[in-house]
Amino acid sequence: MRTLVTAKQMKAIDAYTINTIGVPSMVLMERAAMWVARAVEETAGKADVIWAVCGTGNNGADGVAAARMLHLKGYKTSLFVVGDPDRGTAEFLAQSAIARNLGMQMRPWQEAAGEDCVVLIDAVFGVGLSRPIEGEYRQCMEMLEARHAAHTVAVDIPSGIHGDTGQVMGMALKADVTVTFGWEKMGTALYPGRAYAGTVRVCDIGFPESALDAVRDQEEGYGYGLTYESSDLCLIPDRPAYSNKGTFGKVLIAAGSKNMCGAAYLSALAAYRTGAGLVKLLTVEENRQILQERLPEAIIATYTSDQLIQGREEFKKMIEEQMNWADVVVLGPGLGSEPYVEYLVEDILTSAFVPVIIDADGLNAIAGHPYLTTYFTENIIITPHLGEMARLIGESIDAVKENLTGAALEYAGRYGITCVLKDAATVVAGKDGTLYVNSSGNSAMAKAGSGDVLTGIIAGLAAIGMEEEQAALMGVYLHGRAGEQAAGKIGQHSLLASDLADCIGAAMKSVAHE
Ligand SMILES: NC(=O)C1=CN([C@@H]2O[C@H](COP(=O)(O)OP(=O)(O)OC[C@H]3O[C@@H](n4cnc5c(N)ncnc54)[C@H](OP(=O)(O)O)[C@@H]3O)[C@@H](O)[C@H]2O)[C@@H](O)CC1
Ligand SMILES: [K+]
pLDDT in tens, 363-409: 999 999 999 999 999 999 999 999 999 999 999 999 999 999 999 99
pLDDT at 309: 73
- Give, for ligand 1, the residue of 26, 91, 130 to mutate: max count of ligand atoms closer than 8 Å to Cβ: 130
Q: Are 421 and 404 in contact (CB under 8 A)?
A: yes
Q: What is the 3-state secondary structure (H, E, C) of 243-276?
A: CCHHHHCEEEEECCECCECHHHHHHHHHHHHHCC
**If you classify domain 23-208 with CATH, what class do you get?**
alpha beta
352 belongs to an annotated ligand binding site: no
362 lines ligand 1 (CB under 6 A): no
pLDDT at 174: 98
Q: How far apart (Å, rounded) are the C-alpha atoms in residues 424 and 365?
A: 25
Kindly tell me if the per-residue pLDDT of 511 is higher than 60. no
- In which band, very low, low, confident or very high, does the pLDDT at 444 lie, cut at 50, 70 and 90? confident
Q: What is the mean pLDDT of the chain?
A: 95
Residues 6+ apart with CB under 8 A from 438: 227, 228, 425, 426, 427, 428, 476, 477, 480
Q: How far apart (Å, rounded) are the C-alpha atoms in residues 103 and 107?
A: 13
Q: Which ligand number lies closest to the CA of residue 127?
A: 1
Q: How far apart (Å, rounded) are the C-alpha atoms in residues 419 and 436?
A: 10
63 lines ligand 1 (CB under 6 A): no
**E runs forming strands in 12-138:** 49-54, 76-81, 106-108, 119-123
Question: pLDDT tens, 318-369?
Answer: 999 999 999 999 999 999 999 999 999 999 999 999 999 999 999 999 999 9
Q: Which ligand number lies closest to the CA of residue 137?
A: 1
14 lines ligand 1 (CB under 6 A): yes
Phi, psi of 202 (to 5 degrees): -95, 120
Residue 133 CA: nearest ligand 1 atom is 29
CATH 3.40.50.10260 segments of the chain:
23-208
Looking at the chain, the whole-number percentage of residues with pLDDT higher than 70 is: 98
Residue nearest to atom 19 of ligand 1 (CA): 128
207 lines ligand 1 (CB under 6 A): no
60 lines ligand 1 (CB under 6 A): yes
423 lines ligand 1 (CB under 6 A): no
Q: How far apart (Å, rounded) are the C-alpha atoms in residues 508 and 481?
A: 8
Helix (H, G, I), strand (E, B) or coil at 330: strand
Residue nearest to atom 3 of ligand 1 (CA): 14
Dihedral of the alpha carbons of 424, 430, 435, 436, in degrees to the nearest 10:
-50
Interstrand relation of 435-437 and 427-429 (parallel, antiparallel or unpaired): antiparallel
Q: How far is the CA of 128 from the centre of ligand 1 (A)?
A: 3
Tell me how crowded residue 367 is: count the other CB atoms within 10 A of its CB.
Answer: 17
Q: How far is the CA of 230 from the centre of ligand 2 (A)?
A: 29
Q: How far apart (Å, rounded) are the C-alpha atoms in residues 248 and 235?
A: 16
Q: How far apart (Å, rounded) are the C-alpha atoms in residues 138 and 160?
A: 9
Q: Which ligand number lies closest to the CA of residue 90?
A: 1
Question: pLDDT tens, 63-104?
Answer: 999 999 999 999 999 999 999 999 999 999 999 999 999 999
Residue nearest to atom 21 of ligand 1 (CA): 57
β-sheet bridge partners, residue 55: none
Residues 6+ apart with CB under 8 A from 131: 169
Q: Are 66 and 37 in contact (CB under 8 A)?
A: yes
Residue 155 CA: nearest ligand 1 atom is 45
- In which band, very low, low, confident or very high, does the pLDDT at 221 lie, cut at 50, 70 and 90? low
Question: pLDDT tens, 172-202?
Answer: 999 999 999 999 999 999 999 999 999 999 9
pLDDT at 248: 81
Segment 283-288 long-range contacts (CB within 8 Å, at least 24 positions apart): 283/254, 283/255, 283/256, 283/257, 284/256, 284/257, 284/258, 286/258, 286/259, 287/256, 287/258, 287/259, 287/260, 287/261
Residue nearest to atom 38 of ligand 1 (CA): 130
Q: Which residue has the higher pLDDT, 139 or 244?
A: 139
pLDDT at 331: 98
Question: pLDDT tens, 99-150?
Answer: 999 999 999 999 998 888 999 999 999 999 999 999 999 999 999 999 999 9
Quote the radius of gyration of the chain (alpha carbons, Å).
Answer: 26
Tell me how crowded residue 198 is: count the other CB atoms within 10 A of its CB.
Answer: 18
How far from each other are the two terminal CA atoms of the chain, in whole angstroms? 15
pLDDT at 220: 66
Q: Are 76 and 48 in contact (CB under 8 A)?
A: yes
Q: How far apart (Å, rounded) are the C-alpha atoms in residues 462 and 455?
A: 11
- In which band, very low, low, confident or very high, does the pLDDT at 513 lie, cut at 50, 70 and 90? very low
Interstrand relation of 199-203 and 184-185 (parallel, antiparallel or unpaired): unpaired
Kindly tell me if the per-residue pLDDT of 8 is higher than 60. yes
Q: Are 33 and 59 in contact (CB under 8 A)?
A: no
Q: How far apart (Å, rounded) are the C-alpha atoms in residues 467 and 473?
A: 10
Q: Are 170 and 196 in contact (CB under 8 A)?
A: no
Residues 6+ apart with CB under 8 A from 430: 412, 418, 436, 469, 472
Write down the architecture of domain 230-235+243-508 according to CATH. Answer: 3-Layer(aba) Sandwich (3.40)
Kindly tell me if the per-residue pLDDT of 497 is higher than 90. yes
Q: How far apart (Å, rounded) are the C-alpha atoms in residues 344 and 294?
A: 25
Q: Which residue has the higher pLDDT, 432 or 26?
A: 26
Kindly tell me if the per-residue pLDDT of 242 is higher than 80. no
57 lines ligand 1 (CB under 6 A): yes
Q: Which ligand number lies closest to the CA of residue 87?
A: 1
Q: How far is the CA of 199 from the centre of ligand 1 (A)?
A: 22
Kindly tell me if the per-residue pLDDT of 246 is higher than 90. no
Interstrand relation of 278-284 and 299-303 (parallel, antiparallel or unpaired): parallel
- In which band, very low, low, confident or very high, does the pLDDT at 216 lie, cut at 50, 70 and 90? confident
Q: 283, 354, 364: which is closest to 320 by C-alpha?
A: 354
Q: How far apart (Å, rounded) are the C-alpha atoms in residues 486 and 501?
A: 9
pLDDT at 223: 83
Q: What is the mean pLDDT of residues 264-291?
A: 97
E strand or H helix that includes residue 328: strand 328-331
Tell me how crowded residue 54 is: count the other CB atoms within 10 A of its CB.
Answer: 33
pLDDT at 514: 46
Q: Which ligand number lies closest to the CA of residue 122?
A: 2
CATH 3.40.1190.20 segments of the chain:
230-235+243-508
Q: Which amino acid is at 232?
A: D
**Edge-to-edge strand list for the sheet holding 418-421:** 184-185, 2-5, 225-227, 435-437, 427-429, 418-421, 380-382, 356-358, 328-331, 250-254, 278-284, 299-303
Q: How far is the CA of 81 from the centre of ligand 1 (A)?
A: 14
- Number of residues that this document lists for the chain: 514
13 lines ligand 1 (CB under 6 A): no
265 lines ligand 1 (CB under 6 A): no
pLDDT at 387: 97
31 belongs to an annotated ligand binding site: no
pLDDT at 292: 96
Q: How far is CA 427 from CA 189, 191, 227, 385, 434, in A?
A: 10, 11, 9, 10, 10
